[in-house]
Amino acid sequence: MIDPFVYTALPCRVVFGSGTLARLGDELDRLGVKRALVLCTPLQRDLAERAARGVGSRAAGVFAGAVMHTPVDVTERALAEVHAKGVDGLVALGGGSTTGLGKALALRTDLPQLVVPTTYAGSEMTPILGETKDGVKTTTRSPKVLPEVVLYDVDLTLSLPPALSGTSGINAIAHAVEALYAQDRNPITSLMAEEGIRALAGALPALVRAPGDRDARERALYGAWLCGTCLGAVGMALHHKLCHALGGSFDLPHAETHTVVLPHATAFNAPAAPSAMAAIARALGRADADAAAGLYALAGEVGAARALKDLGMPGAGIDRAADLALASPYWNPRPLERAAIRELLARAWAGEPPQTN
Ligand code: NAD
């Protein structure tokens, strides 16, 4: 039986492969961009400058000031360069932080965006922007922030350190896990979600062992694209709400927090979402583990921290985090009871295995 559904496809051109950065100039021409500002973090300046040189006069300059959580003051500095240099398009080269800066500029200017992702975070496939001002994070959903073109170049992911590769990949898996039990789930997104988890779960242990394994890198980036598409297409639930609250309140690192919380949020939702759990377990391919246990095992296999206390969260923060998760909650397949949420957080804080009940 097929349940009734609504599916809205988002317009975005995707170019995937190895060496695709060489096509940046052609893609800018296709968009009609003649003076692009290339955005990056301070760490990725060399790569951005190489990309800018590669497109010649189509690059107006490099802005290497992107940082985590898209602070508005950084956006304002970049906006001043956009105006001063007569920029007519944006190239965001990097992870979710750089993509966030590109989106923040696009929201204010409506300039076309071309994103070259170098992590597995998936922001490039979504019309969602999270920004911070005076320590407060706000989220905007607007078609203006959805990039026009995404250019995936597997070669650029080879330098992603093994530890960040593992957690960034599990951050991507989290989008697919929640897409499988989303209120507005649909057959297409669910196909992409299961395939995305399968691709990443197979690739991550291999690339953490051998970061230069091109085949594993290719499968991981393909999986990240699928999972990012899920994030852009359907609503997220308890897991993303918890990570949003934890990241904002205790300044915890993004991908690492997702990696710790995911097995526990999955276990919490398991009784309310049996078919999603079956799909996740199938995709993880661990014969002896259910969905939540399989995700916990995967985090261990990639060498990630599995306890919030190891990411710097104080034990005294568990109650505050439980309150935040229950304040303006996202829709969730299982009703949220405070005692069970607190227990989930306490287990995640201590690094215990997830418990389904
Ligand atoms: P990031 O962009 O902050 O990158 C982490 C660090 O790794 C940076 O210093 C970066 O320069 C470096 N790096 C990136 N790629 C590299 C590579 N290939 N080789 C070497 N170093 C590399 O981390 P992230 O996890 O990609 O992004 C996190 C941010 O993205 C958060 O702010 C999060 O809220 C946001 N995000 C937003 C969405 C959305 O839809 N709006 C989705 C996912 C994540």
- pLDDT, tens digit (0-9, with 9 covering 90-100), for 83-129: 999 999 999 999 999 999 999 999 999 999 999 999 999 999 999 99
Helices (H), 251-310: 254-269, 274-284, 291-301
Atom of ligand 1 nearest to the CA of 120: 26
Here the tokens at position 254 are 């993004």
This prediction's pTM: 0.96
pLDDT score, position 249: 84
- pLDDT, tens digit (0-9, with 9 covering 90-100), for 208-250: 999 999 999 999 999 999 999 999 999 999 999 999 989 888 9
Q: Provide residues with CB under 6 Å of ligand 1.
A: 41, 43-44, 68-69, 94-98, 100, 118-119, 121-123, 126, 128-130, 156-157, 159-160, 164, 168, 231, 254-255
Residue segments in the chain with a per-residue pLDDT below the cut of 50: none
Cα 154 to averaged position of ligand 1 atoms, centre (Å): 16
For the chain, domain boundaries = 13-157, 162-350
pLDDT score, position 133: 87
Cα 356 to averaged position of ligand 1 atoms, centre (Å): 31
Q: Which CATH class is domain 13-157?
A: alpha beta
Q: Which CATH class is domain 162-350?
A: mainly alpha
Specify the residue with its C-alpha closest to ligand 1, atom 22: 160
Atom of ligand 1 nearest to the CA of 126: 40
Torsional sign, CA 19, 254, 143, 44:
negative
Cα 3 to averaged position of ligand 1 atoms, centre (Å): 36
Distances (CA, A) of 165 to 71, 171, 265, 298, 322: 24, 10, 21, 13, 29
Here the tokens at position 85 are 């240099």
Cα 161 to averaged position of ligand 1 atoms, centre (Å): 12
